[in-house]
Structures are given as structure tokens and as C-alpha cells.
Amino acid sequence: MYSDIYNIKANIEKSKPATNEIIEDTQKQLGIFFGKEYREFLKEFGCLSVEYLEFYGICGSNSSAPNMLYVTLKFREEMPSFSKELIVIYEVGEGSFYCVDKNDKIYLCNYDNCQRVDKTFREFLYEKVGELQ
């Protein structure tokens, strides 16, 4: 599903792909299922950096970004009204970040105020990476 990412002429770094077991454990910890597109991303990349763009996933330590479990749980703790239906996948800065839901729909959030963006996870990923070309 994401093999053409490797054709991009940019510095690409990925972590170890997430296994089904790790994905299922992470879903249980968050209390949410991942959509097909995001799940395939996790199985292909774990986490992904393309130049300066950092897409959160399952990787490395559970105590820092770009591990989405850590970031999502941190945001839930700091913003009690933040939706339990969203997973933090990309930080813009200055309080803004992007999330994905269980249907692979993307949301742009500013603190706990989230608005649906007319994109799926895959479309969002390719749009962001395409900005580098």
C-alpha cells in the first residue's frame, strides 16, 4: 500500500515495522481500533521520517515522540476533553496537530478543538510528503 514512498527523492528513515501482536496490544492500551490505512502504515514503517516530516506510529520507547501511544496518552492526560476516538499522528507546532480515527479520517486539532479534514490517512501522508517534491 505504501511501497511507492521509497521512490521519493528525499531522506527517508523508518523504524522497525510493528507486528500484529504489538498493534493489537497498542489498540487495547488506547481503547480504539486502527483503520486499515493506518494499520498498514504501522506494519510497513512503524514510524516514518521523510526529511523534516515526522509521522507518529509504534516505535522506540513508549516515553517520547514519535511513539503515538506516548503522545496520545499524554494529550489525553493534559486535555481531559480530548477525544478518546483520536490518535495523534503528526505535530504541526504551536498547539496544532493532526490525528486519525478508527476509519482513517484525519482531524486537525488545536489543543482539544478538532475539525475533520477531508482526507484519509493515506491521502494525508502522500500530501505532506508531496510537499517536499
Instruction: List, in order, residues 6 or more apart from 46 with CB less than 8 Å away.
Output: 14, 15, 16, 17, 18, 57, 58, 59
Residue range 24-46, pLDDT digits in tens: 999 999 999 999 999 999 999 99
- DSSP code for 131: T
pTM of the model: 0.93
pLDDT at 64 over 90: no
For residue 43, what are the CA distances in angstroms to 28, 36, 54, 90? 17, 10, 16, 18
**pLDDT band for position 14 (50/70/90)?**
very high
- Which residue would you say has higher pLDDT here, 45 or 132? 45
Is residue 105 within 8 Å of 115, Cβ to Cβ?
no
Mean pLDDT, the chain, integer: 93
> Which residue, among 78, 73, 77, has the nearest Cα to 31 in the 3D structure?
73
- Tell me what the mean pLDDT of segment 47-60 comes to: 94
